[in-house]
Amino acid sequence: MEARANLKYARISPRKVKFVLDLIRGKDTDTAMAILKNTPRGASEYLIKLLNSAVANAEHNFNMDAKNLYVSECYVNPGPTLKRMMPRAKGRGDRILKRTSHMTIVVKEKE
């Protein structure tokens, strides 16, 4: 049995999130939470809330034991990109791409 949590339209680039997700993939939830709390990256704040949500879903919806959970899957997909303009010299404009992310964390119980 598995429990999952999704976060959509987070205003952070998927590339920045992927670095942090690679650190917690396959770890038990206590270790993953400790890693996230001590990682000085912006994506850590989003992922702490997401991991807490996945653990709560496992406990409440599937009656799993929180001490036996581990992060079986975690991935990030790009969301829609916001296009903005920045004024430049000689009346020109440059496009600024503000990227968004869809993050997913899946937790399972150890056998």
Asked if residue 92 lies in contact with residue 22, where contact means CB atoms within 8 angstroms, the answer is: no
The DSSP-derived string for 56-80 is: HHHHHHH---GGGEEEEEEEEEE-P
What CA–CA distances, in Å, run from 98 to 26, 75, 95?
30, 20, 10
Task: Look up the pTM and report it.
Answer: 0.90
Per the structure block, which two tokens stand in for 53? 């949500």
Tens-level pLDDT at each residue, the chain (111 residues) = 899 999 999 999 999 999 999 999 999 999 999 999 999 999 999 999 999 999 999 999 999 999 999 999 999 999 999 999 999 999 999 999 999 999 999 999 997
Amino acid at 23: L
Rounded (to 5) percent helix, strand, coil in the chain: 40, 35, 20
Amino acid at 97: L
